[in-house]
Amino acid sequence: MRFPGVFRNIARRLAGKTILDASTAEELEEALLGADVGFETVEKLLKGLEDSSAHAGGVQAGLRESIVGLLSSGGAAAVNEGREKPGVIFVAGVNGVGKTTTIAKLAHFYKKQGREVLLSAADTFRAAAIDQLEIWAGRVGAPIVKHKPGADPAAVVFDSVSAARARGMDLVIVDTAGRLHTRQNLMEELKKITRSVEKANGRPPDETLLVLDATTGQNAVAQAREFMNAIPVTGLVLAKMDSSARGGTVISIMDELGVPVKLIGTGEKLDDLEVFDPGKFVEMLFEEGG
């Protein structure tokens, strides 16, 4: 994954500096905004740098540390697989962000660890969505539970979780619709599916992942707020990090939403999913791809 030179340029500009002077602060502000870091997050980062009069390791190290701090503040980054079988991972997000692809990658990730994964085709709004998940299920080698297009997604989920329980499987990953007739309908449906998991499994979903398209910047933040009003999102997945122009999106998304980014999508293939690591990510921003 490579980012254009924004952060590398920042790093160069800050090289050797132990005090943040006004003109550098201004340049830094502009560069961070240009890298898709949201306004409030930029102000917070700058204030942190200005407040400490001198940075032992240099301003650049101070900035990196602050960013890693922001990226780590949302809590545990591991996907919760549930304390009892089957764990239920609920996946939401608007159409086109990369939900179904992420589900396939995640199923593949667990299958490689020898876990038994069942996919639940609860995006019943579009017939093509069921077909698409089925194709991925075939590639990954995971069973799928599906109903007819237009069926009640809560019933699909109930059957999926019940089947996984009966077969003693480890995990159920639930694909959901990203669009219905209205946004209100969609949010109601997601709530209903959540209750259906609880009915079938005796507890709500163990993990509720919201998939966001990393290329959409502040728009992704707005989307996330809407979903978070309807369902208890426990983790974010930033898909399309490989085509994300600037990389700063992650920083403001985590700062503004207070929910950890747990996974990042780095391509269209099954292996293109990574567990999000703040330290590694910041290093990559500043060094590898710049």
**Separation between Cα atoms, residue 15 and residue 94, nearest integer Å:** 41
Confirm or reject binding of residue 204 to ligand GDP (CB under 6 A): no
CB contact at 8 A, 71 and 282: yes
**Min dist. Cβ of residue 44 to ligand GDP (A):** 28
Tokens of 118: 């069942």
**Separation between Cα atoms, residue 178 and residue 259, nearest integer Å:** 20
Q: Give which of Mg ion, ligand GDP, none residue 239 binds (C-beta under 5 to 8 Å, depending on kind).
A: ligand GDP
Whether a cis peptide bond, with omega within 30° of 0, leads into 86 is: yes
Tokens of 235: 């983790």
CB contact at 8 A, 252 and 238: no
Q: Give which of Mg ion, ligand GDP, none residue 265 binds (C-beta under 5 to 8 Å, depending on kind).
A: ligand GDP
CB contact at 8 A, 99 and 178: yes
Within 13 Å and on the Cβ side, how many CA atoms surround 37? Answer: 23
Binding pattern to Mg ion, positions 70-99, x when CB under 5 A? -----------------------------x
**Quick one: CA dihedral 270, 226, 151, 145, positive or negative?**
positive
Which residues are registered as beta bridge partners of 172? 88, 118
Residue nearest to ligand GDP (CB): 265
**Min dist. Cβ of residue 201 to Mg ion (A):** 23
Applying the rule CB under 6 A, the residues between 141 and 180 that interact with ligand GDP are 178
The stretch near Mg ion (CB under 5 A) out of 27-35, 125-133, 188-196, 258-266 is 125-133
Q: Which is nearer to ligand GDP, 132 or 218 (CB)?
A: 132
With CB under 6 A as the contact rule, the residue among 55, 64, 99, 246 that binds ligand GDP is 99
Applying the rule CB under 6 A, the residues between 240 and 269 that interact with ligand GDP are 240, 242-243, 265-268
Confirm or reject binding of residue 100 to Mg ion (CB under 5 A): yes
Look-up of token digits 């919201």: 210
Residue 206 burial (CB count, 10 A): 21
Confirm or reject binding of residue 100 to ligand GDP (CB under 6 A): yes
Confirm or reject binding of residue 60 to Mg ion (CB under 5 A): no
**Min dist. Cβ of residue 246 to ligand GDP (A):** 15
Which residues are registered as beta bridge partners of 175? 91, 121
Confirm or reject binding of residue 98 to ligand GDP (CB under 6 A): yes
Binding site for ligand GDP (CB under 6 A): 93, 95-101, 178, 239-240, 242-243, 265-268, 272
